[in-house]
Amino acid sequence: MTEQLKGPASAREDDDWDIVIRPSKGNTPDLGLVWQYRDLVWMFFKRDFTTFYKQTILGPVWYIIQPSLTAMTYYVVFGKIANLSTDGLPPFLFYMSGTIIWSYFSACLTNNSEVFSKNANLFGKVYFPRLVVPLSVAMSGLVAFAIQFLLLLTVSIGLKIANPDLAVSYWFLFLTPLVLLYIAVLGIGAGLVVSALTVRFRDLVYAVGFMTQLWMYGTPIVYPFSQIPERYHWFYYINPMTTPVQTFRWALFDAPALPVGLCLANLAVTVAITLCGLALFSRAEANAMDTV
């Protein structure tokens, strides 16, 4: 009863199909399609946001407690005991600014590392561009950042009133969005690399948290870049998180700026990681549901 099939010769008029499904190893993700699904990014963001507040009593307070305590711990350990310099900035502002920048990045990275296994139920039942999920994760992280940033500004204004000599630059109004965009792109990119790899290697999930921790110590969070001996500078050229952290502090508190060459090198690494992440992710997307 299959005679009504046409022969393969007539079937090659592929171009007038709206959707063509054929085996593929996955190539660059279809960003146009992601744009079509922008409402879904928003809905996922809203879901994460709403459920977070419905489930916790303290809600946003956690966002404030956590970085404050971390910043204080750093102040005691690295500022008081180890006596590391803070580039002349008030220690709390120095550590706090580093912490909130880093926690935004690490949220993007770690929350994206298990995209496939955490959403297996959803991905196994309905099709949409999978990239929607990492994007919404990066958006959710912004809420925490915004709250922490407000805290940082409030404290800075307080300190400025108490001590008019404190330098507070207004560059941040312009540069903070750029810094965040940079971190989001890098965090998503690195997260995509990890998520694609965890499809194949489950045990990598355990390494992610630990690697992120190590990465933090390789980034000028608890120490300023100016303290790094010249011969180790190459490391900061390849660590793409150096630029956003240092730039953020520079924009806010006039901390010393970075050499332009280093920023460009960092930018190149970020672009490379992100492209690599997109490629690996779309490859994983093609057959993740058969293996998860």
Which residues here bind another protein, judged by CB under 8 A?
1-2, 4-6, 8, 11, 14, 16-24, 37, 39-40, 42-44, 46-47, 50-51, 54-55, 121-128, 200-204, 286-287, 289-291
**Helix or strand run (H / E) with residue 133:** helix 132-162
85 vs 287, which CB is nearer to another protein? 287
93 vs 135, which CB is nearer to another protein? 135
**Polymer length in residues for the chain:** 292
Minimum CB separation of residue 31 from another protein in Å reads: 17
* CB-based contact 285:201 (threshold 8 Å): no
122 vs 181, which CB is nearer to another protein? 122
Minimum CB separation of residue 181 from another protein in Å reads: 24
Report the candidate in 116, 102, 181, 175 with the shortest Cα–Cα distance to residue 144: 102
38 vs 80, which CB is nearer to another protein? 38
Report the candidate in 86, 106, 82 with the shortest Cα–Cα distance to residue 95: 86
Report DSSP state, residue 219: S
Minimum CB separation of residue 197 from another protein in Å reads: 9
Buried b or exposed e, range 30-48, using 16+ CB within 10 angstroms: eeeebeebeebbeebbeeb
